[in-house]
Amino acid sequence: MCNNTIEYFLQRSIDIAKENCLSLNGGPFGAVIVKNGEIIAECGNSVTTTNDPTAHAEVNAIRMACKKLNTFDLSDCEIYASCEPCPMCLAAIYWARIPTLYYAADKHDAKDAGFDDSFIYEEFDKKEEDRSINIKHIRLNTTSTPFDEWKKMSNKIEY
Protein backbone atom coordinates (compact mmCIF):
# COMPACT_ATOMS: atom_id res chain seq x y z
CA MET A 1 0.00 0.00 0.00
CA CYS A 2 1.49 3.34 -1.04
CA ASN A 3 1.80 6.28 1.34
CA ASN A 4 -0.80 8.31 -0.51
CA THR A 5 -3.39 5.68 0.26
CA ILE A 6 -2.44 5.65 3.94
CA GLU A 7 -2.71 9.43 4.00
CA TYR A 8 -6.04 9.29 2.17
CA PHE A 9 -7.63 6.99 4.75
CA LEU A 10 -6.08 8.90 7.66
CA GLN A 11 -7.41 12.18 6.22
CA ARG A 12 -10.83 10.53 5.90
CA SER A 13 -10.75 9.67 9.64
CA ILE A 14 -9.90 13.33 10.39
CA ASP A 15 -12.71 14.63 8.16
CA ILE A 16 -15.15 12.28 9.92
CA ALA A 17 -13.93 13.55 13.30
CA LYS A 18 -14.60 17.16 12.29
CA GLU A 19 -18.01 16.39 10.78
CA ASN A 20 -18.87 14.34 13.86
CA CYS A 21 -18.41 17.13 16.35
CA LEU A 22 -19.79 19.90 14.13
CA SER A 23 -22.97 17.83 13.57
CA LEU A 24 -23.25 17.33 17.38
CA ASN A 25 -23.08 13.55 16.98
CA GLY A 26 -20.37 13.29 19.65
CA GLY A 27 -16.72 13.99 20.36
CA PRO A 28 -14.12 15.08 17.75
CA PHE A 29 -12.93 11.59 16.86
CA GLY A 30 -13.20 9.47 13.71
CA ALA A 31 -12.10 6.00 12.63
CA VAL A 32 -11.98 4.11 9.36
CA ILE A 33 -11.53 0.35 8.84
CA VAL A 34 -10.12 -0.78 5.51
CA LYS A 35 -9.95 -4.22 3.91
CA ASN A 36 -8.15 -4.79 0.60
CA GLY A 37 -7.97 -1.05 -0.01
CA GLU A 38 -11.73 -0.56 0.50
CA ILE A 39 -13.43 1.24 3.38
CA ILE A 40 -15.55 -1.32 5.28
CA ALA A 41 -16.64 0.96 8.13
CA GLU A 42 -16.24 4.60 9.10
CA CYS A 43 -17.63 6.08 12.28
CA GLY A 44 -17.46 9.02 14.62
CA ASN A 45 -17.72 8.99 18.40
CA SER A 46 -21.34 8.82 19.59
CA VAL A 47 -21.02 8.69 23.39
CA THR A 48 -23.38 11.56 24.09
CA THR A 49 -26.04 10.92 21.45
CA THR A 50 -26.33 7.17 22.15
CA ASN A 51 -25.70 7.37 25.91
CA ASP A 52 -22.98 4.76 25.51
CA PRO A 53 -19.61 5.55 27.11
CA THR A 54 -18.05 2.76 25.01
CA ALA A 55 -19.21 4.31 21.71
CA HIS A 56 -15.81 5.72 20.75
CA ALA A 57 -15.07 6.04 17.03
CA GLU A 58 -12.78 2.98 16.92
CA VAL A 59 -15.20 0.76 18.88
CA ASN A 60 -18.11 1.90 16.69
CA ALA A 61 -16.07 1.17 13.55
CA ILE A 62 -15.04 -2.28 14.83
CA ARG A 63 -18.67 -3.12 15.63
CA MET A 64 -19.80 -1.91 12.19
CA ALA A 65 -17.03 -3.76 10.30
CA CYS A 66 -17.71 -7.01 12.19
CA LYS A 67 -21.43 -6.74 11.48
CA LYS A 68 -20.75 -6.08 7.79
CA LEU A 69 -18.22 -8.92 7.43
CA ASN A 70 -20.15 -11.27 9.77
CA THR A 71 -17.10 -12.08 11.88
CA PHE A 72 -15.45 -11.12 15.17
CA ASP A 73 -11.99 -11.39 13.55
CA LEU A 74 -10.67 -8.42 11.56
CA SER A 75 -7.16 -9.77 11.08
CA ASP A 76 -7.31 -8.89 7.36
CA CYS A 77 -8.11 -5.22 8.02
CA GLU A 78 -6.32 -1.97 8.96
CA ILE A 79 -7.67 0.78 11.19
CA TYR A 80 -7.11 4.53 10.74
CA ALA A 81 -7.92 6.84 13.66
CA SER A 82 -7.98 10.63 13.83
CA CYS A 83 -6.36 10.35 17.28
CA GLU A 84 -4.25 7.83 19.17
CA PRO A 85 -6.70 5.24 20.53
CA CYS A 86 -7.50 5.38 24.25
CA PRO A 87 -6.76 2.19 26.24
CA MET A 88 -10.32 0.91 25.67
CA CYS A 89 -10.03 1.32 21.92
CA LEU A 90 -6.46 0.01 21.73
CA ALA A 91 -7.48 -3.14 23.61
CA ALA A 92 -10.55 -3.47 21.36
CA ILE A 93 -8.19 -3.37 18.36
CA TYR A 94 -6.21 -6.24 19.92
CA TRP A 95 -9.40 -8.24 20.59
CA ALA A 96 -10.54 -7.66 16.99
CA ARG A 97 -7.09 -8.92 15.86
CA ILE A 98 -6.51 -5.86 13.65
CA PRO A 99 -2.77 -6.01 12.88
CA THR A 100 -2.19 -2.44 11.66
CA LEU A 101 -3.10 0.93 13.16
CA TYR A 102 -2.43 4.45 11.85
CA TYR A 103 -3.30 7.51 13.89
CA ALA A 104 -2.94 11.29 13.43
CA ALA A 105 -3.23 13.30 16.68
CA ASP A 106 -1.88 11.82 19.92
CA LYS A 107 -3.07 11.43 23.51
CA HIS A 108 -1.45 14.73 24.52
CA ASP A 109 -3.51 16.58 21.91
CA ALA A 110 -6.59 14.78 23.30
CA LYS A 111 -5.70 15.86 26.84
CA ASP A 112 -5.27 19.45 25.66
CA ALA A 113 -8.83 19.29 24.27
CA GLY A 114 -10.23 18.02 27.58
CA PHE A 115 -10.29 14.25 27.05
CA ASP A 116 -9.20 11.71 29.69
CA ASP A 117 -7.17 9.39 27.45
CA SER A 118 -3.80 10.21 29.01
CA PHE A 119 -5.28 10.12 32.54
CA ILE A 120 -6.51 6.55 31.93
CA TYR A 121 -3.12 5.57 30.45
CA GLU A 122 -1.50 6.93 33.64
CA GLU A 123 -3.96 4.98 35.81
CA PHE A 124 -2.99 1.77 33.99
CA ASP A 125 0.63 2.33 35.04
CA LYS A 126 -0.32 2.48 38.74
CA LYS A 127 -0.75 -0.39 41.17
CA GLU A 128 -4.36 -1.41 41.70
CA GLU A 129 -4.46 0.12 45.20
CA ASP A 130 -3.16 3.50 43.97
CA ARG A 131 -5.80 3.99 41.28
CA SER A 132 -8.67 6.48 41.48
CA ILE A 133 -11.17 3.62 41.19
CA ASN A 134 -11.74 1.60 44.36
CA ILE A 135 -10.81 -1.93 43.17
CA LYS A 136 -11.18 -5.08 45.29
CA HIS A 137 -10.15 -8.60 44.33
CA ILE A 138 -12.25 -11.10 46.32
CA ARG A 139 -11.83 -14.77 45.54
CA LEU A 140 -15.02 -16.60 46.60
CA ASN A 141 -15.15 -20.23 47.66
CA THR A 142 -17.02 -22.05 44.92
CA THR A 143 -17.20 -25.70 43.96
CA SER A 144 -16.26 -24.86 40.37
CA THR A 145 -15.32 -21.64 38.61
CA PRO A 146 -16.65 -20.46 35.22
CA PHE A 147 -13.20 -21.27 33.78
CA ASP A 148 -13.48 -24.87 35.07
CA GLU A 149 -16.76 -25.21 33.16
CA TRP A 150 -15.25 -23.61 30.04
CA LYS A 151 -12.24 -25.92 30.03
CA LYS A 152 -14.50 -29.00 30.22
CA MET A 153 -16.69 -27.91 27.28
CA SER A 154 -16.11 -29.68 23.97
CA ASN A 155 -18.60 -27.56 21.96
CA LYS A 156 -17.29 -24.11 22.87
CA ILE A 157 -16.50 -21.45 20.26
CA GLU A 158 -13.11 -19.95 21.10
CA TYR A 159 -12.26 -16.35 20.26
Task: Assess contact for 60 and 52: CB atoms under 8 A.
Answer: no
Q: How far is the CB of 6 from a second copy (least distance, A)?
A: 7
Indicate whether 43 belongs to the interface with a second copy (CB under 8 A). Answer: no
Indicate whether 35 belongs to the interface with a second copy (CB under 8 A). Answer: no
Indicate whether 5 belongs to the interface with a second copy (CB under 8 A). Answer: no
CA distance 99 to 113: 28
* Contacts of residue 97, Cβ cutoff 8 Å, sequence gap at least 6: 73, 74, 75
First to last CA, the chain: 29
Indicate whether 39 belongs to the interface with a second copy (CB under 8 A). Answer: no
Q: How far is the CB of 139 from a second copy (least distance, A)?
A: 6
Smaller CB distance to a second copy: residue 10 or 32? 10
CA distance 158 to 151: 11
Indicate whether 118 belongs to the interface with a second copy (CB under 8 A). Answer: no
Site for a second copy in 59-98 (CB under 8 A): 59, 62-63, 66-67, 70-74, 82-84, 86-88, 90-98
* Contacts of residue 108, Cβ cutoff 8 Å, sequence gap at least 6: 118
| Nearest to 45, CA basis, from 22, 68, 73 | 22
Q: How far is the CB of 52 from a second copy (least distance, A)?
A: 5
**Active-site residue flag, 38:** no
The single residue of 58, 123, 128, 149 carrying the catalytic annotation is 58
Count of other CB atoms within 10 angstroms of residue 153: 8
The identity of residue 57, as a single letter, is A
Q: How far is the CB of 128 from a second copy (least distance, A)?
A: 9
Q: How many residues bind a second copy (CB under 8 A)?
A: 88
One of 38, 130, 136, 154 touching a second copy (CB under 8 A): 136
Task: Assess contact for 55 and 46: CB atoms under 8 A.
Answer: yes
Indicate whether 154 belongs to the interface with a second copy (CB under 8 A). Answer: no
- Report, as residue numbers or ranges, the catalytic residues: 58
